Each structure stands twice: as C-alpha cells, then as structure tokens.
Structure 1
Amino acid sequence: MKPCLIVYYSRSGVTARAAQGLARLCGADIEELRDVRPRDGAAGFLRSAWQGWRRQPAGIMAPQRHPADYPFIVLGTPVWAGQMSAPMRAYILQQREHFRRVALFCTMGGSGGQGVLMSMADLCDKLPVATLHLRQREVLADRHAAALAAFADELAVLRHDEEAAAPAHTPE
C-alpha cells in the first residue's frame, strides 16, 4: 500500500491530468470516480452544471480502493457552476467517515476554486492539510508543474511529520 490515495473525478480530462501528475510526484495510489450515467456532449455538460449548481450528488460506481487504508486522502474535482462536481459530492458523502486526513485540489475554467475547496472541507467535516486550485488553461498548457510540485512537497512534509510522530514499535 502506498502512503497516499488520490481520488478524483474528471469529465473533460483536465482534473485527471492534474491527478495523474500528482500521483507520480507523490508515489500515490489513484482512484478515478466513474459516473453511473455518461456525461458526454452538450446534454452531459448541462446536466453537470445543473447538478453542481443544485449541489446534488450523482450516482457513481463503487470505488476499488478503501480510504480507511490510507493515512492521507487527496480529493480532486473540477469546478461546476461554482461548486464541486456531483460525483465528488457523492464520494465524500459515502466515504467521509473513513477519511483520516484530507488534502484537496480543484481545477477550474474561470473562478470559484477557493469556495469549492471550502465546501469540500465542510462536507468532509475535516480541515484539509493542504489545498490547491489550478486553472484549466494552466493544466492544458502544462504550466502547472511548479504548483503541483509545491503541493506534492507540502504533502511529503506532512507525511514525514506524521511518520516521525508515530510511536516506535519496540520488541519485547
């Protein structure tokens, strides 16, 4: 088991790109949330915006990895109509009792990232150990590497601090 699990949802591939880069930097396991119902085309885009605006969770496939198996969970979502994605909302509602520590990130075409991160933290009922919001244009142009590396470094420091604070096991 790796020290961290990154769970993300991505409709267009932007959040996936950021999550996969972060997983490489952190040496983390990764879990992509999958919709029960596809979100292709204009109808999928409109449904996504509507569900985001209404703060509705979406039907998602059962995850393959269990968050209780990891000391850190990193949650990543796109910003939809100023809100977290409906699949991420569903995942947090289903799994939040199993989260130990959370870090949060979001990708956005326009604005709203800070509000989404605050909403995610509230829904998790946990203060995040680290947060990051990225603009879609930065991710698509591969100009997000420095921000992603700084976020990964912050997580590595926190993970190291936690390992150092853990009681040492001494044989009897």
Structure 2
Amino acid sequence: MKLCLIVYYSRSGVTAKVASALAQACGADLERIEDLRPRSGAAGYLRSAWEALRGRPAQIAPPRHRPGDYHVVVLGTPVWAGHMSAPIRSYIAQQRGQFRQLGLFCTMGGSGGPGVLAAMAALCGKPAAATLCLRQRDVLNGMDQAALAGFARSLGLGTHPAPAGQA
C-alpha cells in the first residue's frame, strides 16, 4: 500500500501551489481534479460560486489514482462563496468509500474555511485526522510553510528536505 495521495481542485492556482508543496514535502502522489467544463473568465467565476452555493456537483474526469491504494488521502479545495468547490464535491461523492485516513485543507480569500472543512468531513462520512485553512495572501507570500509542515506532522507524514533554493 502506498503512503499518501493528495487530491485537489484549483481554479486560480493557489490551491495547486499548496498541494504541490505538500506533495513535495511528504513524497506523496498528486492528483489534480480535472473539471470537464472550463471555469475561466467572469462567467466561470459566477458559475463556480452558483454551484458552490447550491451544493451542485461538477462533471469531472475520471481520477488516475485509486484512493483505496493509499494509507492517507489529503483533499484540498478553494473556498467558493463560503462552500467547497463543486469539483471536490463530485470527487468526494464518487470516492468516499475508499478513504482510510483523511486530511483536509482549503485555501480562501477571506473566511469560511472551518465550515468548508466540516462539510467536507461530513460528505466523506468520517472525521479528518488533520485539517488546515490557509489564506490566499499567505500562500502567495510564502508564509504557509510552517503551517504545511505542522499539517504533515499531524498526519504522520515525514517531510523531505526542499530542493536547493526553495523554502
């Protein structure tokens, strides 16, 4: 059995940055949820908010990795209008029976993170072993490293040294 899979959805790249840093630090496999409908521009932004507010799932591509093959699955989402993203909602609904140990994280411009993480855990049908809320500005300014390291430790994942030139 493999140790860790990090699954995330990112519209703007902020959640992707966190997922990539965590995967690199923990030596985890990484899976980006692929939305089948583009979310670019103002129309994509509005549709994203509407789907999140309504609790609507999104059409996503089939995943490349099986979460049941991993001891720990970490799920990451942006906060959209105080809710989880529609693509992560779809992924959880499709895969929730395969999660063993669970970690959850979210990125947000303002607030709503703890509620999003609670909703994700409820949809998964199990509590998370560790959770993390990060503000977009902290991620973009590189102020998230200590929080990421603590999150990885909470999940029992050893951190690998960052390559030279990276913190």
Deviations 1:143-166 (A, max 9, x none): 1111011111212269xxxxxxxx
Structure with higher Rg: it is 1
Contact 1:26 1:156 in 2 (8 A): no
% identical equivalent positions: 63
Q: Which residue of 2 aligns with 1:58?
A: 58
Contact 2:2 2:71 in 1 (8 A): no
The AA in structure 2 aligned to 1:130 is: A
Please state if 1:115 is matched with 2:124: no
Question: Does the C-alpha gap of structure 1 residues 17 and 157 become closer, same or farther in structure 2, counting only changes over 3 Å?
Answer: closer
Q: Which residue of 2 aligns with 1:136?
A: 136
Distance 1:43 1:91 in 2: 23
Q: Which residue of 2 aligns with 1:76?
A: 76
Contact 1:106 1:133 in 2 (8 A): yes
Shift of 1:101: 1.4
Distance 2:32 2:157 in 1: 25
SS at match of 1:146: helix
Give the TM-score of the pair, scaled to structure 1.
Answer: 0.89
Contact 1:114 1:133 in 2 (8 A): yes
Question: Does the C-alpha gap of structure 1 residues 157 and 10 become closer, same or farther in structure 2, counting only changes over 3 Å?
Answer: closer
Gaps of 5+ in 1: 159-172
Please state if 1:156 is matched with 2:165: no
Q: Which residue of 2 aligns with 1:39?
A: 39
Q: Which residue of 1 aligns with 2:101?
A: 101
Distance 1:70 1:58 in 2: 24
Deviations 1:114-153 (A, max 9, x none): 0000000000000100000000010011111110111112
SS at match of 1:47: helix
> What is the root-mean-square deviation in Å for CA atoms of aligned residues?
1.2
Distance 2:40 2:99 in 1: 31
Q: Which residue of 2 aligns with 1:86?
A: 86
Contact 1:5 1:28 in 2 (8 A): yes
Deviations 1:7-52 (A, max 9, x none): 0000000000000000011110010001000000010000000001
The AA in structure 2 aligned to 1:60 is: I
Gaps of 5+ in 2: 159-167
Structure richer in helix, relative to its length: 1
Q: Which residue of 2 aligns with 1:5?
A: 5
Distance 2:156 2:81 in 1: 32
Give the TM-score of the pair, scaled to structure 2.
Answer: 0.92
The AA in structure 2 aligned to 1:24 is: Q
Where do 4+ consecutive residues of structure 1 move more than 6 Å?
A: none
SS at match of 1:71: strand
Contact 1:2 1:27 in 2 (8 A): no
